[in-house]
Structures are given as structure tokens and as C-alpha cells.
Amino acid sequence: MISAGIRTNNNNTPPYSDRFTECKYNGLNQYPNISIIQDAKWFGMPIDVWVRHIISVHFDPVNGSPYWLQKEKMLGIDARRDVSSLDDLHILGPMEEEDLRRYPLEYFIPAIYLKNKEELILGETAGTTGLPKVTAYLKNEFYMTFVEWFRYIAVYRGFPSAVNWLWVGPSGPHIIGKAVGPVAKSMGSMDPFSIDMDPRWVKKLKPDSLGYKRYLDHIIEQALDVIKRQNIEVIYSTPPLLIKLAEAMNYGQRIQIRGIHYGGVAIGKEQLKRFKTDIFPYAVHIAGYGNTLFGLCMEITESQNGDLNYYPPGPRMVVQIVSTKNGIQPDKYRLAEVVEYGERGQVVCHRLDESFFIPNMFERDEAIRIAPAKDVQSLGIYQDGVRNPSLLDGLEANVKVGVY
């Protein structure tokens, strides 16, 4: 609903700046002591300037992170001198994924932040590519990355506010389980109704097994019970779980849903089209692409042709697309083989946070490289995005996706 006196454009939707003001005055700013995204240290900063800052933090000889100081010695470099831009990150080589499992968490965190451990929020991965990995975020980083970034885009997209949410997904050590409550509250809602799920247990079960089906039925039964008893208008879950839940919901329950947020598992164009037109036709649909280690790329605008275009909250997160002509294995020289706009290749992620530095991570996905569109730039986002990410060919046997 549009408040009286607020300017509208031709489709009766308030311009973004007015919608932000409306939401703020409607009580959506639930965290007055935490800055909005425009006040983040990195927001609007040139990428190379931010790279130099992060390098100075993690490679500080006294207060830096032990992992990167040791890596600096192994490589025989002076990182603060040699790494001064995004293009220079290749000097550090591909991030060794196993190191994130092998070493204690404190090994990656700059010593200066270990002096105040109460400021750190931990998150663990679901074990999609093997044993879980753990990472940390400073409280403000966590809020900006997983809460404020969603709220910023949700307000722009006209996502419903001050309504009841249902979260069907993991809690416990998973970062999304820690974020979903603050996310809902940032949109003026109370703590969401939640159905707990253990994705690591699901991944151990064969999809055609009786145990898998019974566990999934157990999840859907609980979710459906909440929908029957409560006035739910927003659902946040994964596409596989949403399909199962939608099959159990009647038409009346489905048309009451005004907002859908997808996470956990990539969603395809045709699947999204079905959700929008057939299953939840009266909802605002927002998809995200990312993970615990890096954060989220958000679907900032709705594509007219059904493509899924995701952009990171740069420059704290940067996504590049590199060629697969020389294979898909992590390799220092492949880092320089960034494809042209409109071309498809392998996703490489960089996390540039003060608490945790993960450069040159070769992901399991491929996607099309896209430039930031004008409407994306109008929101202060200038980094490249990715279009229609999907699992790399040949990795299906090594990746356990399931329902999360």
C-alpha cells in the first residue's frame, strides 16, 4: 500500500528513494544502531582501493591473519607492495579449499579482531563439496552481507513488509539460519515461523530412498501445519522444498503468498517461470545466488525474458567468469582468462572482508558474465554480475546438492 502524498511513477509504484523513506517511517529500520548499506565502508569505493585496504589488514606483520602471513612467506612476495589491484590477486594463486577445512578458524582471522571475539559471528557450510567449512564475519559485516543487502533490494523490488514469514531450511551452524530472523525483522516482520532441517543429513540419504522421502515428508508436514494455523504471506526456502510444499498447499493458501525468497539451491529459468505464473502468481519473487563463505549476489531487477541476473554487494564481494577452454581445475594462469561480456565460463569468487579474506576461489558453477545495468548502477552497484548460473558439466557426481 502506498502512503498518501508519496510521488508515484507511471505504474503507481513509488520511486526507490521514496519507497525507502516510506519503509523507514513504517518501522522497517529495526536496527537504528547499525548503518544502512550506503554507510558500509566499502559501498561505492573503487575496487582497487578496497583491495589495497584488505591486503593491508590481512598482511599486517603484527595484526594480520596467520594464514596469509604464512602464505606470503611461502610465495616469497611482499603482498602489501605487490598486490595493489583486483588484477594482482592472481599473484596469491587459487584459494585452496581444503585449507578452509584443515586449519583452525583463528588462523584466517586478523589478530586485531581476535582481541574481541564477541564481535564475530560464525557460519558453516552444508557440506555440498565435502566436509563442512567454517568462516566468520564481524557483526556489522554479517548484518550488511546477509540482512541489509537483502532489505536494500527487497525495498526496491516492493517486497511485502510487516507480514508473517515462514522459513523452511537449516538453522544450527548454518549462516542462513542465523540471518533469517534479522532479515524478516528488517522488513518490519516478527521473528519468522521456522521449520528446522539438517541439510547434512539429507545429503547422506539417497533421493530415491525411503529415509529421504520420509524426512522430506516430515519437513513438509510441519510447514503445512504452520500455513494452516498462521497467516503466512512470505515464504523463504529452497526451490526443491518449495515445489514439495506447493504441491501440498491448496489454491487458496498459495494465492495468499505475497513474497517468495529463494536460496540454498540454484533455480532455473523455467522453474522460476512456473513459480511466478502457476504456483505463487501474486507474490514478489526474489532469488539469491551465493553461499556461507562469500555472501549473496542478489537478483536486483526482474528480467523481462526470464534470465536470472545476480549482482554482488561490491566491492566486498567480487565475482569473475573465467574461460574453461583449459579445463575446470583451479589454476593460477586461468585466473587471468576472464571471458568477455555475454560469454559463459567458470565462476571465481573473491571475498574481501576485514574479518576474512578468500581470493580466487574456483566455484563449482558456470555462468554468463554480465555488466551492471543502468538500474543496477543507480543503486550504487558497479561490479560485474552473473547470469543463469548452473552446475559445471562433469561435476554432478562430486556435488551433493539435494534440497539445500
∠ CA 369-372-377, nearest 5°, is 165
Residue 239 resides in a domain: yes
- Asked if omega into 240 is within 30° of 0 (cis), the reply is no
SS3 349: strand
Q: Which residues contact 12 (CB under 8 A, 6 or more apart)?
A: 2
Tens-place pLDDT, residues 117-154:
999 999 988 666 668 899 999 999 999 999 999 999 99
Residue 210 resides in a domain: yes
Q: How confident is the model at residue 396 (pLDDT cuts 50, 70, 90)?
A: low
Tally of domains in the chain: 1
Identify the weakest region by mean pLDDT among 93-102, 120-129, 335-344, 382-391.
Answer: 120-129
d(CA 39, CA 144): 10
CATH number reported for the structural domain that contains residue 157 in this entry: 3.40.50.980
Identify the weakest region by mean pLDDT among 46-50, 211-215, 359-363.
Answer: 211-215
Tens-place pLDDT, residues 336-377:
999 999 999 999 999 999 999 999 999 999 999 999 999 999
Residue 281 resides in a domain: yes
List phi, psi (to 5°) of 336.
-85, -5
Q: Which pTM does this prediction carry?
A: 0.87
9's grid cell: 511513477
Percentage of the residues of the chain whose pLDDT score is greater than 70: 88
Per-residue pLDDT for 4 more than 90? no
Q: How far is Cα of residue 336 from the mean position of the Cα atoms in its chain?
A: 25
Residue 394 resides in a domain: no
Residue 351 resides in a domain: no
The pLDDT of residue 230: 97
Residue 253 resides in a domain: yes
Residue 311 resides in a domain: no
Q: Domain range for residue 185?
A: 16-40+140-303
Per-residue pLDDT for 256 more than 90? yes
* Amino acid in the structure at residue 372: P
Per-residue pLDDT for 5 more than 80? no
d(CA 286, CA 217): 26
Per-residue pLDDT for 43 more than 80? yes
- DSSP secondary structure code for residue 376 in this structure: H
Residue 52 resides in a domain: no
The pLDDT of residue 395: 60
What number of CA atoms fall less than 13 Å from residue 142's CA on the CB side?
21
CB 128, CB 120: distance < 8 Å: no
CA dihedral 189, 160, 291, 312 (to 10 degrees): -120
d(CA 31, CA 151): 12
Per-residue pLDDT for 218 more than 90? yes
Q: How confident is the model at residue 397 (pLDDT cuts 50, 70, 90)?
A: very low
